[in-house]
Amino acid sequence: MLEGLRKNDRYLYISDRHEKADLLERLMDAAPLSEETIETRVSFYTSDEVYLRDGRFDKERVIRFLSDERKKALKDSCIGFTDHEEES
C-alpha cells in the first residue's frame, strides 16, 4: 500500500477494525507522506457506510458505490486504477 501511495495509486479502505486516525498515523509513520496526501489517495469507509447503509445489505447499491469510486479514481488519473473496458 505504501509503495502504491508513493506512485499515486488510489485506495478504498473499508473496515471497522481500525479507526481512520489510527490508519493515518500508521501510514505517516511508515512513509514520508503528509496527512493531506494520504487523505487524497485513501477513501476511508466503515462497513456500515458501504455494505449496511440503512441497516441492510443492498448489492446494487454496493456495486454503484464501487463503480462511482472507480470513476472518481479514473477522473483523477490515478495510476494503478485501470479502465479495462477502454483497453479492449
Beta-bridge partners for 42: 11
Q: Which residue range forms the structural domain that includes residue 42?
A: 2-80
pLDDT: which is higher, 82 or 9: 9
Query: For residue 45, is it within any domain?
Result: yes
Query: For residue 86, is it within any domain?
Result: no
Query: For residue 71, is it within any domain?
Result: yes
Indicate whether 39 pLDDT > 80.
yes
Query: For residue 39, is it within any domain?
Result: yes
Query: For residue 41, is it within any domain?
Result: yes
Query: pTM (2 decimals)?
Result: 0.70
Dig out the grid coordinates for 40 from the structure: 487524497
Indicate whether 69 pLDDT > 90.
no
Query: For residue 55, is it within any domain?
Result: yes
Q: Calculate the CA dihedral of residues 65, 71, 72, 76 and round it to 10 degrees.
A: 160
